[in-house]
Amino acid sequence: MISVGGQAVVFGLTASAIWGAADFSGGLATKRAAPALVVFIAHGLSLIVLLGIVAARREAPPADIFLGLLAGASGSIGLMALYAALSLGSMGLAAATCSVVTATLPVLYSYLLEGHAGVARLIGFAVAAVAIWLIAYTPGDKPHPRGLGLAVLAGLGCGFSMVLLHIGAAESLPWTLTLMRLASTVISGTFGLALLIRERGSVAKGSFSWRSAFLLAALAGLLDTTGNLFYVLASFAGRLDVAAVLSSLYPAGTMLLAAWLLKERATRSQMAGMFLALAAVALIST
pLDDT in tens, 33-75: 777 888 889 999 999 999 999 999 888 888 778 989 999 999 9
- Selected residue with higher pLDDT from 89 and 165: 165
Residue spans of alpha helices (H) in the chain = 4-29, 35-57, 66-86, 91-114, 119-136, 145-169, 173-198, 210-237, 240-247, 251-261, 268-284
Q: Is residue 153 part of a domain?
A: yes
Q: Is residue 252 part of a domain?
A: yes
Report how far residue 119's alpha carbon sits from residue 193's, in angstroms, rounded to the nearest whole number: 49
Amino acid (one-letter) located at 13: L
**pLDDT, tens digit (0-9, with 9 covering 90-100), for 121-144:** 889 899 998 988 888 766 666 666
Q: Is residue 158 part of a domain?
A: yes
- Selected residue with higher pLDDT from 267 and 42: 42
Q: Is residue 210 part of a domain?
A: yes
Task: Quickly state the pLDDT bin for 219 (edges 50, 70, 90).
Answer: very high
pLDDT (0 to 100) of residue 138? 66
Counting the structural domains of the chain, the total is: 1
Residue 264 backbone dihedrals phi, psi, to 5 degrees: -75, 135
Q: Is residue 59 part of a domain?
A: yes
Q: Is residue 12 part of a domain?
A: no
The contacts of residue 228 (CB under 8 Å, 6+ apart) are: 15, 165, 177, 180
pLDDT of 263 above 80: no
pLDDT of 81 above 90: no
Share of the chain above pLDDT 90, in %: 34
Highest averaged pLDDT of the listed ranges 98-112, 129-143, 223-237: 223-237
Domain residue limits at 30: 20-284
Q: Is residue 76 part of a domain?
A: yes
Report how far residue 74's alpha carbon sits from residue 285's, in angstroms, rounded to the nearest whole number: 29
Q: Is residue 11 part of a domain?
A: no
Report how far residue 216's alpha carbon sits from residue 42's, in angstroms, rounded to the nearest whole number: 8
Name the pTM for this structure.
Answer: 0.87
Task: Quickly state the pLDDT bin for 246 (edges 50, 70, 90).
Answer: very high
